[in-house]
């Protein structure tokens, strides 16, 4: 039986990429797999000039990974006074606190 060690879901629109999901098998955390997966994604989509992703404020491991390992910058903080504009009025955002990250490719 072969277990997946990592995976990702990306959405590409022209020169803009959105990292929707990046996961690493928890037994493989801190082995460089996430960083290697992210680098492979960047190489697969060299025309992307701006990447973005979102993670909840309490996911400190994710925040550390995106900022310190992958080179993203925190550009926005969604909260009840500043909701995510991509959510519709029917979506319940009460209590949601998320950081939005961007990485501009050179």
Protein fold of 6-104:
Aminopeptidase (3.40.630)
Instruction: Read off the tokens for 60.
Output: 């400190």
Tens digits of residue pLDDT in 36-89: 999 999 999 999 999 999 999 899 999 999 999 999 999 999 877 777 777 665
Give the β-pairing of 16-24 and 50-56.
parallel
Contacts of residue 47, defined as CB under 8 A and 6 or more positions apart, other chains included, come to 15
**Virtual CA dihedral for 9, 2, 44, 34, nearest 10 degrees?**
70
CA distances from 37 to 18, 33, 43, 78, 90 (A): 15, 6, 10, 27, 35
CA-based nearest residue to 10, from 56, 62, 45: 45
Tens digits of residue pLDDT in 13-36 = 999 999 999 999 888 888 899 999
């Amino acid at each position: 039986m072969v277990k997946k060690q990592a995976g990702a879901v990306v959405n590409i629109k022209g020169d803009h990429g959105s990292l929707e999901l990046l996961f690493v098998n928890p037994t493989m955390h801190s082995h460089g797999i996430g960083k290697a997966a992210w680098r492979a994604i960047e190489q697969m989509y060299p025309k992307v000039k701006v990447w973005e992703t979102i993670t909840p404020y309490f996911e400190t491991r994710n925040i550390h990974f995106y900022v310190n390992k992958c080179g993203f910058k925190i550009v926005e903080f969604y909260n009840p006074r500043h909701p995510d504009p991509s959510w519709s009025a029917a979506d319940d955002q009460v209590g949601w606190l998320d950081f939005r990250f961007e990485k501009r490719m050179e």
